[in-house]
């Protein structure tokens, strides 16, 4: 790691995270107001950098859960079709570079057969190199400071504004064919929303970030629908009635075209299982099924397990179909106005090659470790549904932590009873354990609050001094044929995943 990169990351981290509670001048001082988001600030910064976001077409994706998986799947499809594809997501698991990726060159004829195995190589997404990150960081930082000195910005760009601007500069200078962009928070005022997207995608919406976005599904949906454009194109799926109504109300004022991806979900439940296999190995529902697209079979074989991923895959396929040009010539202007040449074989290959770690990800070992970034009640319910597919008799240990602006009480009620080793547990699970671990974030729930949540439910739990100790303790108390399940926060999964892969 170069010195300039380390300095850049330290300098970036010193800006603080937008969602972290503002520091108090003293314990008795009244709470400081949270920062207000203003998209005009991002526009001013982008203009000073030459408006890099205007150099490439983009797809913008908002939602509460599933937007990262949808982004990763769609980007993989576009890369498999031979396009130099950019991917911007947040937050990261281990390194900030993960947020900014570009695909390597690929010959789409490589995927003429569905039998081609997924492998690292052409079409693989690559994170921004450290040297480019540092160079562009200081470029964005310099522009921000000059704007403040000139009175064009009230304060220096935030952490997320800075990283977003850096990503746009990298994509522009790399001359990408298309960028798939994940909204960071909400949509209407998010820094990514300065682009003019070819498509806007809205994934599943649930209650989250209520301090910023509103306290009801309808209010949150209206914020996320801020990524829609007049006369634009929306791709979504039927979901919560309040969300459906709010999306419909916003769409009606914009004269846009709405596309439902419902026909691209499998018509019947699937019973194919994936995992490490073997006697007693973890098995999770795999997404392997066949759809009919343009009267041709399209075989879905995704490495992302869980029935919930079928909705994200459907959204990605719908986006690919909307972008593609059936004539096969990107330059002839026929088909839709975007004219991307995306064959069914490229869609199949892209789905097959999708990489999105930390989402029901199984780490081999003795015992095995299942990682999932479920960080809100909706995500917890999804994880609970996946756990219900596992052998009931298999001992399991939960490693859990979450941020204090999440609904700890509700998440505890959803997940902790599945690991209840008390005599009152139903069904009885005497070999199970719950271990709480502190995470490195100013927004982290305290271990005391985590323990109190377990105590309120009458479920035995232990507290570890740090994540490494939690993993060591889980490995010690879980039988070799058991399963460790870690969840509750991206911060927890990011740190624990690195440890699990190293040891």
CA 307 to chain centre: 17
Residue 181's closest CA among 65, 100, 60?
A: 60
Residue with token string 């671990």: 437
Written as tens digits, the pLDDT of the chain (503 aa) is 677 999 999 999 998 765 555 554 555 555 545 556 789 999 999 999 999 999 999 999 999 889 999 999 999 999 999 999 999 999 999 999 999 999 987 666 555 444 443 433 457 899 999 999 999 999 999 999 999 999 999 999 999 999 999 999 999 999 999 999 999 987 888 999 999 999 999 999 987 665 667 779 898 999 899 999 999 999 999 998 999 999 999 999 999 999 999 999 998 765 455 544 444 455 687 899 999 998 999 999 999 998 889 999 999 999 999 999 533 334 434 334 567 999 999 999 999 999 999 999 999 999 999 999 998 998 999 999 999 989 888 999 999 999 987 789 999 999 999 999 997 766 778 999 999 999 988 889 999 999 999 999 999 999 999 999 999 999 999 999 999 999 999 999 999 999 999 97
- CA-CA-CA-CA torsion for 373, 378, 382, 388, nearest 10 degrees? 110
Both tokens of 483, joined, read: 């399963």
Q: Give the tens place of pLDDT for each residue, 29-67.
A: 555 455 567 899 999 999 999 999 999 999 999 998 899
For residues 332 and 373, give the distance between their C-alpha atoms in angstroms, rounded to a whole number: 43
Locate 91 and state its tokens.
Answer: 């937050």
Give the separation between CA 78 and CA 294, rounded to whole angstroms: 18
Cα–Cα distance between 370 and 419 in angstroms, integer? 14
Tens digit of pLDDT for each residue in 157-174? 999 999 999 999 999 999
């Amino acid at each position: 790691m170069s010195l300039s990169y380390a300095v850049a990351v330290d300098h970036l981290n010193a800006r603080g995270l937008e969602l972290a509670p503002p520091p108090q001048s003293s314990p008795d001082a009244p709470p400081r107001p949270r920062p207000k988001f203003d998209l005009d600030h991002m526009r001013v910064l982008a203009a000073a950098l030459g408006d890099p976001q205007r150099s490439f077409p983009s797809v913008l994706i908002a939602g509460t859960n599933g937007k990262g998986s949808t982004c990763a799947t769609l980007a993989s499809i576009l890369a498999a079709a031979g396009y130099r594809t950019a991917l911007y997501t947040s937050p990261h698991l281990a390194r900030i570079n993960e947020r900014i990726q570009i695909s390597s060159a690929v010959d789409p004829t490589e995927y003429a057969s569905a039998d081609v195995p997924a492998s690292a190589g052409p079409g693989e997404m690559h994170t921004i190199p450290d040297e480019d990150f540092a160079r562009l960081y200081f470029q964005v930082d310099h522009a921000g400071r000059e704007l403040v000195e000139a009175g064009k910005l009230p304060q220096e760009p935030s952490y997320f504004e800075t990283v977003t601007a850096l990503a746009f500069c990298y994509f522009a200078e790399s001359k990408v064919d298309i960028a798939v962009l994940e909204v960071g928070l909400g949509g209407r005022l998010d820094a990514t929303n300065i682009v003019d997207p070819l498509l806007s995608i809205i994934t599943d919406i649930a209650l989250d970030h209520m301090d910023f976005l509103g306290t009801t599904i309808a209010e949150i949906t209206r914020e996320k629908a801020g990524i829609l454009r007049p006369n634009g194109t929306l791709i979504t799926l039927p979901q919560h009635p309040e969300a459906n109504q709010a999306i419909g109300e916003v769409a009606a004022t914009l004269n846009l075209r709405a596309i439902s991806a419902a026909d691209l979900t499998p018509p019947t439940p699937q019973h194919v299982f994936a995992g490490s296999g073997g006697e007693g190995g973890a098995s999770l529902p795999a997404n392997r099924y066949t759809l009919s697209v343009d009267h041709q079979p399209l075989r879905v074989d995704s490495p992302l397990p869980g029935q919930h991923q079928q909705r994200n895959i459907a959204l990605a396929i719908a986006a690919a179909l909307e972008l593609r040009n059936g004539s096969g010539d990107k330059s002839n202007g026929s088909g839709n106005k975007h004219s991307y040449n995306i064959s069914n074989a490229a869609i199949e290959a892209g789905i097959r090659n999708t990489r999105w770690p930390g989402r029901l990800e199984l780490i081999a070992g003795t015992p095995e470790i299942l990682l999932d970034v479920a960080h809100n009640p909706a995500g917890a319910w999804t994880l609970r549904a996946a756990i219900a597919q596992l052998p009931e008799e298999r001992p399991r240990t939960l490693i859990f932590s979450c941020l204090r602006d999440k609904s700890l009480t509700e998440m505890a009620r959803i997940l902790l009873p599945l690991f209840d080793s008390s005599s009152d547990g139903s069904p009885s699970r005497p070999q199970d354990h719950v271990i709480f671990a502190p995470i490195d974030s100013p927004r982290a729930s305290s271990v005391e609050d985590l323990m109190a949540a377990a105590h309120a439910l009458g479920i035995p739990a232990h507290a570890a001094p740090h994540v490494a100790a939690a993993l060591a303790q889980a490995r010690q108390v879980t039988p070799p044929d058991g399963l460790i399940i870690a969840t509750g926060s991206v911060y927890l999964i990011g740190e624990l995943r690195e440890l699990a892969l190293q040891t």
